[in-house]
Chain A
Amino acid sequence: MTSAVPAPPRAESDDGAAGVDTGTDTQSRADADADTDADALTAAAHPIRTGWTVLPARMVALSIVELQKIRHDRSEIYSRAVTPLLWLAVFGETFTRIHAIPTGRTPYLAYLSPGIIAQSAMFIAIFYGIQIIWERDAGVLTKLMVTPTPAPPSSPPRPSPPAPRPWSRPWWY
């Protein structure tokens, strides 16, 4: 109920879903109002970004946030840089001495470096992925989701799985 006057408590009844269907009058009136109000909103405080530029602009904005965080706490840069160097120094040097993998004329460090760099990039990506879960818990993500930031395009719909076969019949049969 939306009356401005207080109403007595309603008894528990099964009419809770009565309002699911909205009346046609309400719909058409609201649609008419929306046209005029939409103009007013668009003409609000500042011009509004639309079209394909929205998503790149948001990506830049969120990247700036991460860069600002790194600027305030540089220990993360150092720890990320030290890890691959340690890998190269410890494993690189060790494996060079024992010649565990034949690399021909390629120096062992050169052979190992692309893998170490890829591994470091993967670890950083995993770390930032976990951080998004933390941000969801903390409420940061909730607030971001109420900004005019479009969600990335969803993945294409997957085909529905095949119907299960009878238990007595193996899947290859």
Chain B
Amino acid sequence: MNASTPALEVTGLVYAYKQNRAVDGIDLHVPQGSVYGLLGPNGAGKTTAIRAITTLLPIPPGMVRVFGRDPARDQMGVRRSLGYVPQQLSADAGLTGRENVANFARLFDVPRAVRAEKVERALDAVGLLEVADRMAKAYSGGMVRRLELAQALVSSPRLLILDEPTIGLDPIARDSVWRHIGDVRAATGMTVLVTTHYMDEAEEYCDQIALMHKGRIRAAGTPQQLIASLPPEASGTSLEDAFRYYSGGAGLEESEEGGDFRDVRSTRATASRVR
């Protein structure tokens, strides 16, 4: 495999829900082995972009490439290289942790001979091996998120996509989730694409960040570059200042709250389930 091939390349991605252009021509270049953060306020188009990349939305050929594969032409090939943790809770509460992970191994055609070992490794990587045979409904919020991470890891994905993986978690659980993501990434060198609303997380864990607003990318670069790019009148010293600046226009008074009723309902439902 060509090491220079980007893990993800997005060129002029556009997606509209009827008249509303949720994603309005974004370009992304995610190098292999990096942690890439996609940030933006509610309704910025992050989740729509993720859904297009993960083959959940129909898009024309040529807009997205995952390790050189086009989801519009080779849907199954792209899915095999992805590990995806959606914003909503996706672990099955009626199964044990081990069964949850083993079922995903089965869906990704992990051979029976190595399946048990791979499941053990995935659970071990997220620190759930000791409680693997407990029912998932008995897990805490952080443990459920880590279980979902194990589900995504069991197929040895090359691109891990996390849509707000720490939503609704307390700071300790958030740290734990990120620590395990970092460990897995260090061990496997996989590429991670993550969306989050927590600027401290993005600043600490992401190598590169793209700031989205109203379906477009307003700025991209390392967290330090984004902070340094703020004009003197913005007087910002943190990524949160950069976020406010780029997603709010010239000043806070011009910014508007994004997201619709569905976004709020989905976010609150997820937050209440992980509590």
Contact = CB atoms under 8 A, between A and B. Distances in A.
Contact of A146 (B62, B79, B92): B79
Contacts, number: 201
Interface residues of B, number: 84
11 contacts: A6-B225, A12-B214, A18-B12, A22-B62, A36-B68, A37-B68, A44-B158, A72-B135, A139-B87, A139-B270, A146-B54
B267 interface: no
B189 interface: no
A19 B158 CA distance: 27
Interface residues of A, number: 59
Interface string A4-27: 111111101001111111100011
Interface string B87-109: 11111101110010001101111
Nearest to B247: A9
Given A6-B229, A139-B90, A26 B11 contact: yes
Interface stretch (A60-68, A95-103, A106-114): A60-68
A94 interface: no
A90 interface: no
Interface string B69-95: 110001011011110111111111011
B69 A138 contact: no
A38 B77 contact: yes
Interface string B139-150: 000000000100
B186 interface: no
A12 to B, nearest CB: 8
Interface stretch (A46-54, A118-126, A159-167): A46-54
B245 A9 contact: yes
A20 B12 contact: yes
Contacts of A48: 80, 109
Contacts of B96: 72
Given A9-B218, A18-B12, A146 B27 contact: no
A143 B2 contact: no
A170 B86 CA distance: 51
A118 B92 CA distance: 30
B216 A30 contact: no
B219 A46 contact: no
A138 B90 contact: yes
B94 A73 contact: yes
A18 B1 CA distance: 31
